A and B are shown apart, each in its own frame.
Chain A
Amino acid sequence: MTTFPVERLAGVFVEVADTLVADFDVVDFLHLITARAAELVPDSAVGLMLADHQGRLRFMGASTEATRLLELFQVQNDQGPCLDCYRTGVGVVNADLHDDDTPWPQFAPRAVEAGFRSVHAVPLKLRSEVIGALNVFGRQPTRLEPADAHIVQALADVATIGLMQERAIRRSEVLAEQLQTALNSRIVVEQAKGALAQMHGVSVDDAFDLLRSHARSTGTRLSDVARRVVTDPDGVRGLSRP
């Protein structure tokens, strides 16, 4: 049995499914997946990486934007649970970061330094192809039960479905096209975070919250708000401070 609260679980999947309407925003959607996964796994942070056309993992979203530092570290050092998961297509569950025999001697101490005790990674898979991975960092030594791990995998599956559904996927070439477009949208969001941070004198992490709340309150797609911030900053001066 899962240790996750059942009512909350149902709510999460309903909310996620509800987001998959026409013209949803893929960056915002993947952020939602990570945020909800982080709520389900007690005291955790969650990040999502997608592979680009060179087979490199790139950051796509996280429950807290600060997790990205760790994600990027992982990629830069060519090691870590997300990479293992992406390469093998097999999930990594309940890896102890304090383990002396850790398979990631560079990654594990950094994760511990950031306050994490355990790590899990599940693949984003479309048929036989692995397109990325979802990474869960736990601050407590508690273990994920097998049923819990299945639910985290289910959220990763929904993330894949969302990626594919933004445009109906009929051919594999459209998958690659969709990934490229999603990754570029994430760059636009990063550029907008920098512009907003400068505009309002806030951190780039807080700038992401500004972007999201503005998108919510105006019923605009996150990527569209981000694009407007960097192409017409005067047009979004009203974007309120936190």
Chain B
Amino acid sequence: MGNPVADILREVRSEELPSDADPSTRSLRRLCQVATRLVGAQGVAVNVVATDGAPQLVAASDGVERPLDGLQQITGDGPGSEAFGTSRPVLVPDLDELDPARWPGYVAAARANGIHAVFAIPLQVGAVRLGSLELYRSAAGGLSADELTNAFSLADAAVTLLLDEHFPVEGAVTGPPASLPYRAEIFHAQGMVMMQLGVSLHEAMLRLRAHAFVNDADLADVARQVVNHQLRLDRPDDEGGSYDGPVKREGGR
């Protein structure tokens, strides 16, 4: 079995885009284009939450009308916001069958834009919530098993791109995105660094990635050192000494 997320990231990098695309979100825009094929959607959008608040549209495929997402931002309701808020996928194969009270403002706007089915996948790493991936269809109908699997892989790929590019690490050159590793130590280290530095879990995750990048180390190795109390990110690294990020107050204990 191959690695679908790596395959998607490879395809994203080879996708052609018009030269006027915003460089900061070019990869995500490409991902949206690739996504339209992989899930059989007429439009795909990525919403990102910069700080706490409603997701904002940062990238979309051709065929996504910005006014629709503008409306979602104003009304605060819609599938993307709901997927983000509940940390669960939101699958609406037929907007006509939706309880009109669920997203009163959104449904009318979606219909006016010719959308009849919508699916939103949360972009998250445990409790770190980054945004949502939205898929729009012009005809009612559910995602097939393969399309749903692709949607989840696309969401993983979007998380990888977001972490590597949308939240750039100072001084870091974007390396080839790797698909997210699933290692318990990495999640343990995120929680520990959060308490050590007195920062949010989100920032702790970015700090760990930054440390691994700056020291050219494997993220899982860095995490293991943190968990084994061999490394604290708020102190100069005993071994390499090359991490000179901001020293914050000692949190925790």
Residues of B within 8 A of A68 (CB): 184
Mark B191-215 against chain A: 1 for CB-CB distance below 8 A, else 0.
Answer: 1111110000100000000000000
Q: B1 contacts which of A55, A59, A187, A231 (Cβ < 8 Å)?
A: A55
Q: Is the CB of A195 within 8 A of B192?
A: yes
**A191 in complex: contacting residue of B4, B88, B126, CB < 8 Å:** B126
Contact flags (1/0) for B124-158 with A, using CB distance below 8 Å?
11111000000000000011010011001100000
Is there an interface contact between A204 and B227, defined as CB atoms closer than 8 Å? yes
Q: Is the CB of A181 within 8 A of B126?
A: no
Q: How many residues on chain A are close to B (CB under 8 Å)?
A: 39
B residues within 8 A CB of A199? 195, 252-253
Interface status of A103 (Cβ within 8 A of chain B): no
A228 to chain B, nearest CB (A): 9
CB of A190 closer than 8 Å to a CB of B: yes
Q: Is the CB of B148 within 8 A of A176?
A: yes
CB-CB nearest in chain B for A200: B253
Q: Would you give the 0/1 interface string for A67-108, flagging 1 where the beta carbon is closer than 8 Å to chain B?
A: 010001000000000000000000000000000000000000
A230 CB contacts on chain B under 8 angstroms: 126-127, 191, 194, 201
Whether a CB of chain B sits under 8 angstroms from the CB of A198 is yes
**A36 CA / B122 CA spacing, docked (Å):** 33
- In this assembly, does A215 line the interface, its C-beta being within 8 Å of a C-beta of chain B? no
Binding site secondary structure of chain A: helix
Chain B residues near A40 (CB, 8 Å)?
none
Q: Across the interface, do A194 and B87 meet the contact criterion of CB distance under 8 Å?
A: no
User: Which A residues touch B148, using CB under 8 A?
Assistant: 53, 173, 176-177
Does A198 lie within 8 Å of B191, measured CB to CB? yes
Does B183 belong to the interface (CB within 8 Å)? yes
Asked if B4 and A194 make an inter-chain contact with CB atoms under 8 angstroms apart, the answer reads: no
Given contacts A68-B184, A176-B148, A181-B87, are A187 and B191 in contact (CB under 8 A)?
Answer: no
Q: Are B191 and A194 in contact (CB under 8 A)?
A: yes
Interface assignment of A139: CB less than 8 Å from any CB of chain B:
no
Could you list some 10 contacts between A and B, CB below 8 A? A53-B148, A173-B143, A177-B89, A191-B190, A191-B201, A193-B191, A197-B192, A200-B253, A204-B227, A230-B191
Besides A54-B149, A176-B145, A187-B125, 16 new A-B residue pairs in contact (Cβ under 8 A), listed by A number: A54-B3, A173-B145, A173-B148, A174-B91, A176-B149, A177-B89, A177-B148, A188-B126, A190-B126, A190-B188, A190-B191, A191-B188, A192-B127, A227-B127, A230-B201, A231-B201
